[in-house]
Amino acid sequence: AQKVTQAQTEISVVEKEDVTLDCVYETRDTTYYLFWYKQPPSGELVFLIRRNSFDEQNEISGRYSWNFQKSTSSFNFTITASQVVDSAVYFCALVSGGSEKLVFGKGTKLTVNP
């Protein structure tokens, strides 16, 4: 069975603080893909990143970075120098090889205060 756990329901930070969103996943497959999506207050879902299970290299995109650790089954997302526009709900998701089902975590609501 596949499962994604985002233990942080809500996080509140002040602008310019760094913040890490946690994602822990469960799957028995050796081939799988992990994702992060952003849902701003306007409601649409925005794709941020995809990572496959064979690539543990961390990724950085501007102020965003992702830390994938198979040893702890985690795929954490860090926003450096947060901004008010980063306020959103962030979802981590997983699909295992051979499955057509994308499983989402429950989401973490991030509020960045000015």
Partner 1 sequence: EAQVTQNPRYLITVTGKKLTVTCSQNMNHEYMSWYRQDPGLGLRQIYYSMNVEVTDKGDVPEGYKVSRKEKRNFPLILESPSPNQTSLYFCASSLGWVGTDTQYFGPGTRLTVL
Q: Which residues are at the interface with partner 1 (CB under 8 A)?
A: 6, 9, 32-33, 43-45, 47, 50, 52, 91, 93, 95, 97, 100-107
SS3 of residue 14 by DSSP: strand
Nearer to partner 1, 9 or 114 (CB): 9
Q: What residues contact 76, with CB distance under 8 A and at least 6 apart?
A: 20, 21, 22, 23, 66, 67, 69
SS3 of residue 1 by DSSP: coil
Nearer to partner 1, 107 or 112 (CB): 107
Nearer to partner 1, 10 or 17 (CB): 10
Within a 10 A sphere around the Cβ of 112, how many other Cβ atoms? 20
Rg (CA), the chain: 14
**How far is the C-alpha of 46 from the C-alpha of 91, rounded, in Å?**
10
CB of 101 to partner 1, least distance (A): 6
CB of 86 to partner 1, least distance (A): 19
CB of 14 to partner 1, least distance (A): 26
Nearer to partner 1, 64 or 104 (CB): 104
CB of 102 to partner 1, least distance (A): 5
